[in-house]
Chain A
Amino acid sequence: MIAQNFEYETPSTLEEALELLADGAKALAGGMSLIPLMKLRLAVPERVVDLRRVPGLNSIRVAEGQLHIGAMVTHYELESTPLVRRSSPLLAAAAASIGDVQVRNLGTLGGSIAHADPAADYPAALQALEAVIRIAGKGGERAVSAAEFFVDTFTTALEPGELVVEVSVPVEAAGTGVRYEKCEQLASGFALVGVAARVAKKGGKVSMARVGVTGLAGSSYRAKNVEALLEGTTGSAQDVTRAAAAVAEGKEANSDIHASADYRAHLARVYTARALRAALGTAG
């Protein structure tokens, strides 16, 4: 219940924040992941950098066909902002499925993905959206794809001292069907498995399929084999089932008291099919 003591900084510029982070401080955004860990003393940072006064991390804007979201934008802002709901209904849906209202009010996109909980909701959507994550460090900025960003359980492509500053996803083209389907670990509200799907059809055939998966394995991933099996088909129920059956191939499924590895893999197949069917249902 009680964290170890720490020094608390509230820098008012990104440069200052990066300076502190380079010095080994821990970034605090909404605190929804970090603070519980600190209270259980599973995280014991000596210095914490609260990012709330850093300007420029809260914007939501569309430019050149991309929706750009500042790292400090909260889950609630994502689920409720009309621009997000319109431009990336999949991301809005993933945000809406996180935890509970109190968590969504404080938790941030940047904080969540930097924490890289293997059962978090965003990574599925970001994988399916082929999101680009902009990272700042003392030495400058760089951008990585979601596929590169999520490395392993609680491990991302962030180097020490680096910070997620923005996430960019494509503005969804008209006619693209999307869906996030989540099987909830009922106690925690995290995903046993969560599957994000995006599909488009052209001339009666599936012209584009993107599938992101969370919860199943140590890291989220994009299920390219499923996508390949579905693209070019008519997207019939059989096509979907056949494609979805491949979602867990080559993955080492997590196992815990809430679900065995076999069952998680099975759920991944079921939820992939469900997400794809629903997405196809709205694809025009």
Chain B
Amino acid sequence: MASTVTKTEVLFGKKMKRKEDPRLITGTATYVDDIQMPGMHHAVILRSPYAAARIKGIDARGALELPGVAAVFTGADVKDVGPVPCGASLPGLRVPHHHVLAQDRTYFVGHPVAVVVATDRYIARDAVDRIEVDWEPLEAVAEPEKALEAGAPAVHPQWPDNKAFDYHQEHGEVDKVFAEADVVVKQRITSQRLIPCAMETRGVVAEWKSGEKSLTIYTSTQIPHLMRSLVAGMLGIPENRLRAVAPEVGGGFGSKLNVYAEEALMGFVAMKTGKPVKWIESRRENMLATTHGRGHVDYYEIAAKKDGTIVGIKLKLIQDVGSYHQLLTPAIPTLSVLMMPGVYRCQNIRADIVGVFTNCVPTDAYRGAGRPEAMHGIERMVDILAAEMKMDPAELRLKNFIQPEEFPYATATGLTYDSGDYAKPLKKALGIAGYAALREEQRAARSAGRLMGIGLSTYGEICAIGPSPATPAGGWESATVRIEPSGKVTVHTGCSPHGQGEETTFAQIAADELGVDFDDIIVLHGDTAIVQYGIGTFGSRGTAIGGTAMYFAIQELKAKIKRFGAMMLDCDDVTFSGGRCVCDKTGKSVSIQEIAAASYRAMKLPPKTEPGLVATYFWEPPNFTFPFGAHVVVTEVDKETGDIEVKRYVAVDDCGKIINPLVVAGQIHGGVAQGLGQALYEEAVYDDSGQLMTGEFMDYCVPKSTMMPWIEDSNTETATPVNPLGVKGVGEAGTIGCSPAVVNSVVDALSPLGVRHIDMPMNREKIWKLVQGGAA
């Protein structure tokens, strides 16, 4: 036995190249559409061309006559499948029965009506055109505020007021502080409907093994385990006979944090036909039928004292639900309410949500899910208040921040913020931007007749979602860590990463903890046949909860390793570090590889110790985590055209401890791109009849490389006490911090014209009109 102790380099905090990348950069990763099976059928779905219509009849004979068509299924065939589940519950929630195929009526353009199954996807596509549907178009309503008007068409005839739910939350003495306030500002602020547009659309491959009575569903999802539990119920098969696999997933952003009709439908088709079946969503279908995000109309009021102290916030929130509740639809705006005070010390809040049915595809989680809306609202309102009080927006924020010594801080909405130092990223961002000099430059620009703006946001958010009592389906996460006989390490995480790089960051943590080589660790996920039950990747939870679960599994293993080490070294007190167990007395050591081999060989076992080195840990987090940050944006508006140029983008984000700076920067950049998309370019536009006018990339503007500014990103690091890694989460931060900073900047640019608010997206025509007409 060697007596040297290996000193392993600490990987926590290092820019490690990602383990995921070799398969991605060589084109050898396996996404759902890359799966081929012998005899596999292809499915194409016929969707409703009307936002509301009665189906008086369906004639599929023409489709069935086409050689190669194996089957056509319609609503009648699947009336007992489902319903598509809503996982969220609120008092008085109205939940329409959501069939996997429309029955006698359709509720949105893109509503699935029939599915054609054929030997080839080209034939299936041809066959769809040969299905004849006898439609009776009905009146539709696509705008939530219109849907609330008396006499509006009823989306669901049984609920003529189109209300899906009401929700109220209140804390403190709201009426009193508003009555006594020196200043009250009010504003209607919208967060428009957005289309998540993961680059990989949804797709499902289902395979039924009749002999085993088992079904395997490969699906592009963020939540394979939850999908399995729920789809098993929808199909009426035992959960343990359904295997769910999320293979490589090409982005989700919340749109794949769901259980969709098509997942159960393909399972049904595979079981009925006895052949594997593949369905791949087209981009048009993706825009029509995959959940959208946001869809808020918010009426804010904020009360303050003369010195700028914010004393009360009122919010009336109208949430566009769409035609159905998908998995978390009604829960999303409640997250907005939880975050409505932002990073400010305000204990008097009142929020009223009304969820509204419209003849549109359902809304649900989209990057940030409720928090971007909340931060957009409060950060706009703070700027409006600053303008009203003629205060500098940075000063007003500094004045109202919860202070570092106040943590843990109980908010008016019932949360306990874990840790924070909100002034730190703000001061850093202002420093990087050169705030004072920028204001000077702005004065000069204004006197030269130019419209230059400086905007900032100081956001907070809820990450690591979340403690189980606060979530619809359990908020813990799981990990199994296996040290194989050779000493190589296999981690099974219950999360289901899809681009976030957790195969890498988890390996960094495991390498440090176990003292094994980074290359000797692999992280597996996404297959319910391999991985213990898990929750999934969403809500910036992967590393903070999943990583922590793995950390605790490793701690159990380390204890066992030490027992083996003590036995092998014949030593009472051993230390495990750098991949070796060292006898404190003699300095002799054994490597983790030697211990692993001995633990499986099991010639001799330590007392009360089982063979092998495997540990599984389910970690229930005691709290959410609350990252924060400050973004500063400099813009200039072209007076002639209304074009907005983003001249500087400074982002300082505090996501707790940083495991891999490259990955953190990547998450921020991507988040900012989606925030900037919302601020400037993106909007799902439905016309009055409920037709989606932005149903292709030709009309829905996902930011292109040429539209993104250079992001000057950096961080502060405030550890969270919620988990031993000190990490908070970063997946959504960029998005949440971005949109208010950009809008604040453009409003600042136009403020000399009397503009005090602009709704998103701030497209050039809207800005041009403001330049022409002044105040909005």
Which A residues are within 8 Å of any B CB, using their own CB?
1-2, 4-5, 40-41, 183, 186-188, 257-260, 263, 266-267, 270
Contact = CB atoms under 8 A, between A and B. Distances in A.
A186 B701 contact: yes
Contacts of B699: 187-188, 257-258
Leading 10 A-B pairs by shortest Cβ distance: A187-B701, A2-B125, A188-B698, A263-B765, A270-B640, A186-B701, A1-B282, A257-B693, A2-B122, A257-B685
Interface in B685-739: 685, 693-694, 697-702, 704, 707
From DSSP, what is the main secondary structure of chain B's interface residues? loop
Interface in B632-665: 640-641
Given A257-B693, A259-B765, A260-B765, A267 B641 contact: yes
B121 interface: yes
B646 to A, nearest CB: 14
B284 to A, nearest CB: 8
Interface string B113-126: 00000000110011
Nearest to A186: B701
Nearest to B687: A257
Given A186-B707, A187-B697, A187-B701, A270 B685 contact: no
Interface in B256-290: 282, 284
Contacts of A267: 641
Nearest to A273: B640
Q: How large is the interface on B (under 10, 10 to 19, 20 to 34, 35 or more residues)?
A: 20 to 34
A3 B78 CA distance: 29
Q: Which of B694, B701, B702, B765 has the most CB of A within 10 A?
A: B765
B207 to A, nearest CB: 23
B257 to A, nearest CB: 25
A1 B685 contact: no
A1 B125 contact: yes
A266 B707 CA distance: 23
Contacts of B121: 2
Contacts of B685: 257
Given A257-B699, A258-B699, A186 B125 contact: no
A187 B763 CA distance: 12
Contacts of B693: 257
Contacts of B698: 187-188
29 contacts: A1-B125, A2-B121, A2-B122, A2-B125, A4-B126, A5-B126, A41-B129, A183-B641, A186-B681, A186-B704, A186-B707, A187-B697, A187-B698, A187-B699, A187-B701, A188-B697, A188-B698, A188-B699, A257-B693, A257-B694, A257-B699, A258-B699, A259-B765, A260-B765, A263-B765, A263-B768, A263-B769, A266-B768, A267-B641
A2 B121 CA distance: 8
Given A2-B125, A258-B699, A270-B640, 13 more contacts: A2-B121, A5-B126, A187-B698, A187-B699, A187-B702, A188-B699, A257-B685, A257-B699, A260-B765, A263-B765, A263-B768, A263-B769, A270-B641
Contacts of A40: 284
Say whether chain A's binding surface is mostly helix, strand, loop, or mixed.
loop
Contacts of A257: 685, 693-694, 699
A41 B765 CA distance: 32
Contacts of B640: 270
Interface in B298-349: none
Nearest to B693: A257
Interface string B661-685: 0000000000000000000010001
Interface string B32-73: 000000000000000000000000000000000000000000
Nearest to A274: B640
B33 to A, nearest CB: 12
A175 B681 CA distance: 40
Contacts of B122: 2
Contacts of A270: 640-641
A113 to B, nearest CB: 20
Interface in B726-776: 765, 768-769
A186 B642 CA distance: 14
Nearest to A263: B765
A56 B237 CA distance: 65
Contacts of A5: 126
A5 B67 CA distance: 14
Nearest to B769: A263
Contacts of A259: 765
Contacts of A1: 125, 282
Nearest to A187: B701
Nearest to B125: A2
A80 B769 CA distance: 39
A41 B128 CA distance: 12
Nearest to A190: B698
Nearest to A184: B706
A247 to B, nearest CB: 14
Nearest to B766: A263
A2 B125 CA distance: 7
Nearest to A267: B641
Listed residue (B640, B697, B704) with the most chain A CB atoms within 10 angstroms of its CB: B640
A187 B702 CA distance: 7
A258 B126 CA distance: 33
A186 B702 CA distance: 9
A243 B251 CA distance: 50
Contacts of A188: 697-699
Contacts of B284: 40
A216 to B, nearest CB: 14
Nearest to B129: A41
A1 B121 CA distance: 10
Of listed B126, B641, B694, B697, residue having the most chain A CB within 10 A: B641
Interface in B76-131: 121-122, 125-126, 129
Nearest to A188: B698
A40 B129 CA distance: 12
Contacts of B129: 41
A263 B771 CA distance: 13
A263 B694 CA distance: 20
Contacts of A187: 681, 694, 697-702
Contacts of B681: 186-187
B527 to A, nearest CB: 28
Nearest to B641: A270
A194 to B, nearest CB: 14
A121 B741 CA distance: 35
A128 B197 CA distance: 39
